[in-house]
Amino acid sequence: MTKMISKKKSALIVTVLCGTVLPVNAYVGSTDNTTAVNTHDVVVTASRTEQKVKETPSAVEVITHEQLERTGANTLTEALKMATDLNITQSAMGNNVSLRGMNNNQTLILINGRRVRTEDTNDSANKYELNRVNMSNVDHIEIVRGAASSLYGSDAMGGVINIITKKTIAPEVTVGSDWTTHEKDGYLHVGTGQKGKWSFDIDSRYSDTRNWGYLGSTDEVINLGTGTYSMLTNVTNQYGKRYFFNFDGRYALAENRELDFFFDYMKENLESQSLTKHIISMPTYSGTVLTAGYRNLFDHERWTTGIGYKGKDRLGDYEFRIYNTKFNKKQSVYYSNYSGSLHSVGDLSSTDDMTFNSTTIDGRRSLQVGDNHLLTLGGEYRIEKYDSTRLTSDSDMKYAAFYAQDEWLISHKWQLIPSVRWDYVDAFGSKVTAKLGNTYHLSKNLRLKMNIGSAYRAPTASELYMDWTHSSYALILGNKDLRPETAVNFDIGIEGEHRNTSGKLTYFHNKVKDMIDYEYQGVTSGLYTYKYYNVDHAVIQGVEAEAKQKLSNKFSLRSTYTYLDAVNSDTNERLANRASHSVKLMLEFDDMAKYGITATLWQDWLLGYRYELGEDVGTTHLNTLNFVINKKFNDNFSAYMGVDNILNKQDVHLFDDGRVWRVGMKYTF
């Protein structure tokens, strides 16, 4: 089914620890041998406590509020495009998003440290989430690359993306709008600032995604001896309207104690289209028969509500939360004979209903133990209920976990962070994961970082019990005999700065056992059929490199490179939906102080991307040139204009339909 390739040699390695919660104050062993860092260089996702980026052993990247402003990111996809070793590609129904070559569902997406309840298959998990974030409510984004199961448990095998929302200090009202070739939106943000003991942030957003046309196809070819018969299915993107509403209220109980009330709402009214045609090439007849068209209508609603309590005393920091997410999904498939276009709905073919309900209780406590140890203890209890027409069995699952971490400052040059977590899933029993992270200062501006640890992910209800026969183009089958995924990973990296130059170089290696994937089974009743199975052994390894050079007081040059070798080590076949080489080269201009202008010109190369669409298997390449300019006219008004894929490159296998124009503006009162 796939082309055989030889194994690459393994070399060094190390990767990352992960974690995340709301920002809290905590002791971090700093040293006089490190250079000063700004506020946005302090992160909470890597260790569940505040740490400087330079001190944490993890491979951490922060997309600051300033960077979001200058790129005019109106979706999370746009915001993450410039991140290192974060694979984001377009698909017919959404986006593939993965860290360090792991699958979609092995990257954990969080909002303020809270789990996002989303679809739960290895392909659909996170695929739609990049378009479900209200970007007008985002302050900054923290990314940790590498396994984080020792702090976050299941779903964090590849890393964590933590989206931190705005917490306004002074009163403000912001209105804005964006228009792109793909969509248009408008938004409103209201922040009260601190009013007595209360403060509130309220956000609403409306988004309308356009139908870009038929983005790609899957093709099944059958050789009949006297000729060939092929079935070609073309599909569009999901298009339609999304509505967002977010509320965050905070009440100061005392100087170092706070209650947090939050409510998030998202609604989607979307649709997509697919066309199936049969192509016949025989001595007696050759031609194309357009036989069927489908319209898929999606009606989705998601509510998240909860309360949190956090504070600080003489012993350290603490936090406790309880929150519930309910996610309703209804899909209707309409069928009609194809007659040139699909402008009418046609006859109802099938309906598909799903309801996800998740309740989570979590908490943690940090304790200063002597001068050199910061101990963090935490736990989580989660109940997930899933009622769906796609499932063949009861799907309720219960999760429990406890974890411990020690930030040990051995000396002013050396910090060691061991962590361990016990997870329990009622369907599979217990599992213990652990990690050891290390940061050693070789000199004032040069650091060696190393991590080694284990990771774990339990199969989801859909992967175990799915029988999705209601799709217009695919039949996806679960496998009740699936085994949990496990992994052993390590990485080693060096990073440093010298005057106007900075850089990082990291080698990572993941040895994965029982990786869950889906395998193509052929065509059943006109549907492409896939079934979940365990890849017994897979090795995912590679190299990450990043360099930045300040050319002048206005210009800087940044480049990133990732080499990825992801292989089913039992067959030596490359794993699909991954690129061998990813390269970014960015020229940045900043004259905000004088003229209020920032601009970025960047080139992306995606090389040796392996795809599998039914029997259509191969590799492809894509390179795009992009530009964005942002102008701040005064303290209240700013606007941006950008062009993605300036040279209008297109690739059917990556669902890239070419050039995208972007403009937007906002006004703050």
Please list the ranges in the chain whose pLDDT falls under 70.
Answer: 1-41, 91-93, 122-123, 213-233, 276-292, 336-346, 394, 469-473, 526, 614-615
**Do the beta carbons of residue 129 and residue 118 sit within 8 Å?**
yes
Please check whether residue 364 lies inside any domain of the structure. Answer: yes
Please check whether residue 216 lies inside any domain of the structure. Answer: yes
Q: Per the structure, how many domains does the chain have? A: 1
* Type and span of the H or E element at 462: helix 461-465
In whole angstroms, give the CA distance from residue 241 to residue 209. Answer: 6
What integer pLDDT is reported at residue 220 of this predicted model?
Answer: 52
Q: Is 28 exposed, middle or buried (0-12, 13-18, 19+ CB in 10 A)?
A: middle
Please check whether residue 522 lies inside any domain of the structure. Answer: yes
What integer pLDDT is reported at residue 225 of this predicted model?
Answer: 58
pTM, 2 dp: 0.86
Buried b / exposed e over 609-621, threshold 16 CB at 10 Å, is bbbbbbbbeeebe
**Percentage, residues of the chain above pLDDT 70:** 84
How many C-beta atoms surround the C-beta of residue 530 within 10 A? 20
Please check whether residue 495 lies inside any domain of the structure. Answer: yes
> What is the chain's length?
669
Residue by residue, DSSP assigns 171-182 as -EEEEEEEEESS
The boundaries of the domain holding residue 465 are 43-668
How many C-beta atoms surround the C-beta of residue 231 within 10 A? 18
* Nearest residue to 47 via CA among 34, 36, 35, 60: 60
Q: Which residues, including other chains, have CB under 8 Å from residue 509's CB and lie 6 or more apart?
A: 10, 12, 13, 489, 490, 491, 539, 540, 541
CA–chain centroid gap for 631, Å, is 29
490: CATH = 2.40.170.20
Please check whether residue 367 lies inside any domain of the structure. Answer: yes
In whole angstroms, give the CA distance from residue 364 to residue 598. Answer: 41
Residue by residue, DSSP assigns 43-60 as ESTTTSS-EETTT-SSEE
**Do the beta carbons of residue 414 and residue 441 sit within 8 Å?**
yes
Backbone angles phi, psi at 413, to 5 degrees: -105, -20
> Tokens standing for 44?
């909470």
Please check whether residue 138 lies inside any domain of the structure. Answer: yes
What integer pLDDT is reported at residue 501 of this predicted model?
Answer: 96
Please check whether residue 379 lies inside any domain of the structure. Answer: yes
What integer pLDDT is reported at residue 487 of this predicted model?
Answer: 93
Please check whether residue 35 lies inside any domain of the structure. Answer: no
* Type and span of the H or E element at 590: strand 578-591
**Do the beta carbons of residue 513 and residue 485 sit within 8 Å?**
yes
